[in-house]
Amino acid sequence: MDCPRDGTALIEERVHGIEVDHCPQCNGRWLDHHQLDELEATRAKEHERRGTVRYAQRESDLRCPVCAQQMSAFNYRAYDLELDTCRDEHGFWLDVGEDGRVRDIVDERVRGLRRSLSAEAAWGNFLDGLGGRGGGGPWETVRRLFRGR
């Protein structure tokens, strides 16, 4: 298989525990279709990786190294990272450094999910406090004000 950027023969290598095809000339990497998910899995659990991966798809300048068809380019998870993919789902082309960006984006998404879960729990605790369990809480204070006590 040859590099879609420069035609150099791709060689197999292990990156983050995944066997991918690497271009020794441009340092790009070909990931089979399932391997992008495996790359994300090196940073997050499956439930943390849910969501749309491809945004703003358009025609790519590259051809798939498997079937030679024109690939499509897309913004990865709506971030400023453009990846190329085979329309017949043979795989993804990642230019040099983009595998690291994928992992960074997954890390950022996981941190955001954890912040959201923490904020949701704090809001729930706040609302529980407003319920006036045991006769206290801010709502009980408001009720007493209107009752004149």
Would you kindly state where each structural domain of the chain is located, as residue ranges? 11-147
pTM for the full predicted model: 0.72
Query: 135 is written with which tokens?
Result: 């006769």
pLDDT of residue 124: 66
CA distance 115 to 118: 5
Q: Which residues of 123-142 are buried (b: 16+ CB within 10 A; e: fewer)?
A: eeeeeeeeeeeeeeeeeeee
Name residues of the chain where pLDDT drops below 50: none
Give whole-number Cα distances, 119 to 80, 114, 122, 125, in Å: 27, 9, 5, 10
pLDDT of residue 94: 96
Query: 45 is written with which tokens?
Result: 């659990």
E strands, the chain, in order: 11-15, 18-22, 29-32, 54-63, 70-76, 82-85, 91-94
Sign of CA dihedral 85, 91, 94, 98: positive
**Tally of CB atoms within 10 A around 31:** 23
Sign of CA dihedral 110, 92, 1, 8: negative
pLDDT of residue 27: 96
Which residues, listed in sequence order, are joined to residue 94 by a DSSP beta bridge? 29
CA distance 123 to 20: 44
Could you tell me how far CA 103 lies from the centroid of its own chain? 8
pLDDT of residue 50: 74
